[in-house]
């Protein structure tokens, strides 16, 4: 496309906008957050969708909006209540940031521009642009992984730079309906221009696309570094039922509750020492991946003379649900 005379390129880009928007209006999936212009509801959906697939996000969105229907309700809740409702969706930092954000703007409401939204806890350029364009109609382009892939393919660019992406997305943006345009590009990436086996024959903008003959070549995969980390978890069954649970710290799982867990070479001995135990029986192994590390957790079990807790009464992470599935497959929290 870059070789076209400027006038023709502009005409083609106008046609591209019309084609994609009319495809979107006819084919957009019915999603609960698309039936509202409430900025708070749109923000909740965008934060969920940062790391949760659309089909799973539906359930978490419904649960979250029922528990905290507006900024005030979220601001008044305790962090533990928020994490409990978020439990299972993973990436709990999102929930803690949403909670802090609500406490900061419950009185004033959400700001209407991407620049102001980006100042709030946990809101990056993509989420700010998505909320500002969808809820407030601000003409600002939202670039997520789907949009990056679609643009790289449309222009056959193997390694799109951040600057190229920003400039291309801003140039193509439909200024008359930026919210629909941003969602249309994302929808195309999620349902037609998928990472593997894109459906070019069903694509409304295939005529424009420079990369369609070899679509999967664009963009080149980004190198991901994920550290492999060994850890030990200790399952201690309380004397009268339940388990010993600890409140976790740290960025990923802070505020959640889970089985005693330690990383590193001395993990088992340090856990045993913490509870005054001499030995524990091997139960099995579970794996859990975070963005930057893959945990292999060696789960051990030991008798415990003290009281235990019912995990269903605490916000527990997916990682701890996996341990619980190993230790007590019958437990209701699963």
Contacts of 319 (CB under 8 A, 6+ apart): 253, 258, 286, 288, 295, 297
In whole angstroms, the minimum distance from the beta carbon of 168 to ligand SF4 comes to 13
Asked about 46 being catalytic, the answer comes back as: yes
From 206, 233, 202, select the one nearest 299 (Cα to Cα). 233
CA 142 to chain centre: 16
Q: Between residues 48 and 193, which has the closer beta carbon with respect to ligand SF4? A: 193
The reply on whether position 148 binds ligand SF4 by CB under 6 A is no
The reply on whether position 153 binds ligand SF4 by CB under 6 A is yes
Contacts of 214 (CB under 8 A, 6+ apart): none
The reply on whether position 151 binds ligand SF4 by CB under 6 A is no
Write the DSSP assignment of 59-84 as a string of letters: HHHHHHHHH--SHHHHHHS-HHHHHH
CA atoms lying within 13 Å on the CB side of residue 8: 6
Q: How far apart are CA 58 and CA 36, in angstroms?
A: 14
Active-site entry in 46, 138, 187, 301: 46
Q: Between residues 154 and 186, which has the closer beta carbon with respect to ligand SF4? A: 154
Q: How far apart are CA 33 and CA 46, in angstroms?
A: 9
Q: Which range of residues in 64-72, 172-180, 210-218, 320-328 is near ligand SF4 by CB under 6 A?
A: 210-218
Query: Per the structure block, which two tokens stand in for 163?
Result: 């600057």
Footprint on residues 190-209 left by ligand SF4 (CB under 6 A): 192-193, 198, 200, 203, 205-206, 209
The reply on whether position 154 binds ligand SF4 by CB under 6 A is yes
In whole angstroms, the minimum distance from the beta carbon of 184 to ligand SF4 comes to 12
DSSP-assigned beta bridge partners for residue 6: none
Site string for ligand SF4, 107-146 (x = CB under 6 A): ----------------------------------------
- Of 98, 165, 215, 268, the residue at the interface with ligand SF4 (CB under 6 A) is 215
Among all residues, which ones are annotated catalytic? 46
**Contact set with ligand SF4 (CB under 6 A):** 150, 153-154, 192-193, 198, 200, 203, 205-206, 209, 211-212, 215
């Amino acid at each position: 496309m870059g070789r076209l005379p400027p006038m023709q390129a502009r005409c083609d880009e106008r046609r591209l906008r019309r084609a994609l928007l009319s495809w979107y209006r006819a084919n957009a999936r019915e999603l609960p957050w698309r039936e509202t212009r409430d900025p708070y509801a749109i923000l909740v959906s965008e934060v969920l969708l940062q790391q949760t697939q659309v089909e799973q996000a539906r359930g978490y969105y419904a649960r979250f909006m029922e528990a905290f229907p507006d900024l005030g309700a979220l601001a008044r809740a305790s962090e533990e209540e928020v994490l409990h409702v978020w439990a299972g969706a993973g990436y709990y930092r999102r929930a803690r940031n949403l909670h802090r954000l609500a406490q900061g703007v419950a009185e004033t409401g959400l700001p209407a521009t991407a620049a102001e939204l980006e100042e709030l806890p946990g809101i990056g350029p993509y989420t700010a642009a998505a909320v500002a364009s969808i809820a407030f109609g601000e003409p600002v382009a939202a670039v997520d992984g789907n949009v990056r892939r679609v643009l790289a393919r449309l222009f056959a660019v193997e390694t799109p730079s951040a600057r190229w992406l920003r400039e291309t997305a801003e140039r193509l943006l439909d200024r008359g309906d930026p919210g629909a345009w941003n969602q249309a590009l994302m929808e195309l990436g999620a349902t037609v221009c998928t990472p593997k086996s894109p459906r070019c024959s069903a694509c409304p903008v295939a005529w424009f696309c420079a990369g369609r003959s070899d679509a999967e070549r664009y963009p080149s995969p980004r190198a991901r570094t994920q550290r492999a980390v060994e850890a030990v978890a200790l399952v201690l069954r309380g004397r009268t039922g339940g388990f010993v649970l600890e409140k976790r710290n740290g960025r990923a799982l802070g505020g959640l509750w889970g089985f005693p867990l330690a990383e590193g070479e001395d993990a088992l001995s340090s856990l045993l020492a913490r509870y005054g135990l001499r030995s524990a029986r091997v139960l099995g192994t579970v794996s859990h991946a975070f963005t930057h590390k893959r945990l292999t957790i060696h789960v051990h079990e030991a008798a415990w003379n003290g009281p235990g807790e019912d995990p269903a009464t605490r916000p527990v992470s997916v990682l701890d649900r996996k341990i619980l599935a190993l230790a007590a497959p019958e437990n209701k929290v699963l």
